[in-house]
């Protein structure tokens, strides 16, 4: 069941107005980036109470999801005398939601915050599960907390201005939901051109899958780890390209990770080869093939070593038994990690 804090709407301004009128906040900080300020803020501007609101627009991009930005937010909140009855509104993609939520959850030991996700990725993934945080020392989401927003308002209207590459990045997480939990959902997506998918319905369905898993295991002690399918290798790939360039979008890196981990699934958890090949074919066709430099092959074991699912320095991955059935805590050797990227690389040779 979906929590009351999660609101699907086709009229974001009306929802937000109702919410603000029924809660007495002392001050409001709206956090956005310069893109969401331009494209998304106009849709809610009229309902923001002018006398108590301020707005901060940071430059867009993952490279700003860092402690220096959070410090500047804490600084602004302190200087403007925000008290514990204040509210933060995070209007943007996963970067704004993760980081703004983290700043709010830690300022004065926590003030209310609401998330208004404006990317497909943030709607289907970052909107559920209460994970907040920042990147640190080059590692993704290295510092953070679990805390649910007071409200999440999901309105697909924001997708109208989202660049296609960003839309596709979110689609990777939707595909992951099918791969880990629902074979029918996966099949349904790969049968028709992805650009024409009915996003409003899909968002609700995907959020439902994620919420079901998160409710069963809120703090990722067990089952919730299945949501990390594709992310052990995917995060390593994302971190590498964040450092070395060209930067990959989150979903693009996770698409590489899902192909590599489908390979590991066949080797370690019995995913049939024809299913592995179908996954690889669709993901490479849809997301293109990323060239894997030798340097990444040299560094991937070290990068994967930072994964939060590891225990006692053993890499543990979430892998598929079949499409729609995922298992977790599977130990993966360094050799397997490297082999999985060689497998991914070989697909480019064939293409
Ligand atoms: N908390 C979680 O559970 C969770 C889950 C998945 C991903 N994440 C995090 O989310 C982040 C990635 O999120 P993202 O892909 O949304 O990235 P993002 O926040 O960087 O947004 C992507 C780009 O789209 C622009 N944009 C956003 N909405 C727009 C709109 N409606 N119109 C035009 N442009 C728009 C942004 O300015 C940015 O340039 C990563 O940091 C990842 O770690 C968190």
Low-confidence ranges of the chain (pLDDT < 70): 312, 350-351
235 is catalytic: yes
The pTM for the full model equals 0.94
pLDDT at 350: 59
Structural domains of the chain, count: 2
The answer to whether the CB of 321 falls within 8 A of the CB of 279 is: no
Shared-domain flag, residues 196 and 92: no
108 is catalytic: no
pLDDT at 2: 81
For ligand 1, atom 16: residue with the closest CA: 93
- Domain termination residue (choose one: 161, 193, 227): 161
User: Which of the listed residues 121, 160, 199, 257 should we mutate to test ligand 1's pocket, taking the one with most ligand atoms within 8 A of CB?
Assistant: 121
The answer to whether the CB of 337 falls within 8 A of the CB of 315 is: yes
**Which of 211, 89, 206, 202 has its CA nearest to residue 152?**
89
- Domain termination residue (choose one: 137, 161, 185): 161
Residue 350 CA to ligand 1 center (angstroms) comes to 32
- pLDDT per position as a tens digit, 18-69: 999 999 999 999 999 999 999 999 999 999 999 999 999 999 998 899 999 9
Residue 1 lies in a domain: no
- Domain termination residue (choose one: 115, 134, 161): 161
For ligand 1, atom 18: residue with the closest CA: 93
Domain holding 344, by residue range, is: 164-350
Tally Cβ neighbours within 10 Å of residue 184.
10
Shared-domain flag, residues 150 and 180: no
Residue 244 CA to ligand 1 center (angstroms) comes to 20
* DSSP output for 68-83: HHHHHHHHHHHHTT--
Q: Which residues have C-beta atoms less than 6 Å from ligand 1?
A: 33, 35-36, 39-40, 60-62, 65, 92-96, 98, 118-119, 121-122, 125-126, 129, 131, 140-141, 158, 161-162, 166, 169, 250
The answer to whether the CB of 343 falls within 8 A of the CB of 276 is: no
Residue 125 lies in a domain: yes
Cis amide bond preceding 246, omega within 30: yes
pLDDT at 140: 82
CATH number at residue 244: 1.20.1090.10
The answer to whether the CB of 325 falls within 8 A of the CB of 237 is: no
């Amino acid at each position: 069941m979906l929590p009351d804090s999660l609101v699907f709407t086709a009229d974001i301004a009306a929802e937000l107005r109702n919410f603000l009128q029924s809660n007495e906040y002392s001050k409001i900080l709206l956090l956005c980036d310069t893109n969401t300020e331009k494209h998304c803020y106009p849709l809610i501007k009229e309902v923001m109470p002018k006398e108590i609101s301020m707005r901060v627009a940071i430059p867009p991009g993952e490279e700003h999801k860092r402690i220096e930005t959070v410090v500047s937010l804490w600084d602004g909140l302190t200087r403007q005398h925000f008290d514990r009855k204040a509210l933060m509104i995070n209007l943007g993609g996963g970067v704004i939601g993760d980081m703004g939520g983290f700043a709010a959850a830690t300022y004065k030991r926590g003030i209310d915050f609401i998330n208004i996700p404006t990317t497909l990725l943030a709607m289907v993934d970052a909107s559920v599960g209460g994970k907040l945080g920042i990147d640190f020392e080059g590692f993704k989401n290295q510092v953070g907390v679990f805390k649910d927003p007071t409200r999440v308002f999901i309105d697909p209207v924001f997708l109208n201005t989202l660049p296609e590459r960003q839309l596709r990045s979110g689609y990777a997480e939707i595909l992951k939901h099918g791969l880990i939990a629902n074979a029918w959902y996966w099949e349904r997506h790969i049968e028709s051109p992805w650009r024409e998918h009915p996003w409003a319905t899909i968002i609700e369905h995907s959020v439902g899958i994620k919420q079901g898993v998160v409710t069963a295991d809120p703090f990722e002690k067990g089952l919730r780890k299945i949501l990390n399918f594709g992310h052990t290798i995917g995060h390593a790939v994302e971190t590498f390209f964040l450092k070395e360039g060209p930067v990959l979008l989150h979903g693009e890196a996770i698409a590489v990770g899902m192909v590599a981990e489908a390979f590991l699934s066949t080797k370690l958890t019995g995913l049939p080869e024809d299913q592995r090949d179908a996954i690889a074919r669709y993901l490479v066709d849809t997301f293109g093939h990323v060239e894997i430099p030798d340097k990444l092959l040299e560094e991937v074991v070290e990068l994967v070593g930072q994964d939060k699912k590891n225990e006692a320095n053993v890499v543990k991955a979430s892998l598929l038994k079949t499409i729609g059935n995922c298992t977790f805590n599977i130990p993966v050797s360094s050799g397997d990690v490297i082999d999985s990227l060689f497998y991914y690389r070989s697909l480019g040779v064939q293409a």
